[in-house]
Amino acid sequence: MPAKQAAAPTISFQTTLFSIGSWTILRLPEEASTKLPSRGQAMAEATINGRVFQTPLEPDGNWSHWFKVDEDLSKLIHAAAGDTVSVTIKLVKDWPEPVVPADLKSALAASPKAQTLWRQTTTMARWEWVRWVRSTSNAETHRRRVEVAISKMESGKRRPCCWNRNLCTEPSVSKNGVLLEPQSAAV
């Protein structure tokens, strides 16, 4: 069943794409992000350079949001790190299914009780489980989170508890739950 999100206004702004490591990032300006109904993850339809696409808006750990501009999106919008783009964002009500890490997918398949609960939860709740499991770069912590997730689902827990959903959960571009500062764009 699709997750539902409160109605929000269309948000328009300009910003400059930047790099963190090998990633290109679009960070929402604070004044744009404050128009969102939550500091946590949100799903949006975005338009850049006339191109419309859907993307999750990830929390940056500093009360704003960001999203990754991967190679395909960069080609679609004809923009790269260092380019300034005009952006329009509108939240969407229907969330696509998250990409589930292989180890979590296998663990769910091995536990009929957890798999049943997984299917009964909202799509947004499934995104939260995935975000929580993948929010560490430590392999042992990741492994343990998969175990804990299955255990919690087997006991009827529909969402991970006791973690701050407003933190950046992508270890490739964050430290201690906060999005890293941009690197200078290549000239």
Q: What CATH number is associated with residue 85? A: 2.40.30.100
- Per-residue model confidence as pLDDT tens digits over 107-134: 999 999 999 999 999 999 999 999 999 9
Decide if 146 is inside a domain.
no
Please indicate, yes or no, if residue 34 is contained in any of the structural domains: yes
pTM metric for this prediction = 0.86
User: What number of H helices and E strands is found in the chain?
Assistant: 6, 9
Is 42 part of any domain? yes
Confirm whether 138 is domain-assigned.
no
Q: Is residue 2 part of a domain?
A: no
Structure tokens at 124: 């947004």
Digit-coded pLDDT (tens) for 73-95: 999 999 999 999 999 999 998 99
Assigned domain for 52 exists? yes
Structural domain including 38 reads 11-91
For 177, residues 6+ apart whose C-beta sits below 8 A from its C-beta are 61, 135, 164, 167, 168, 169
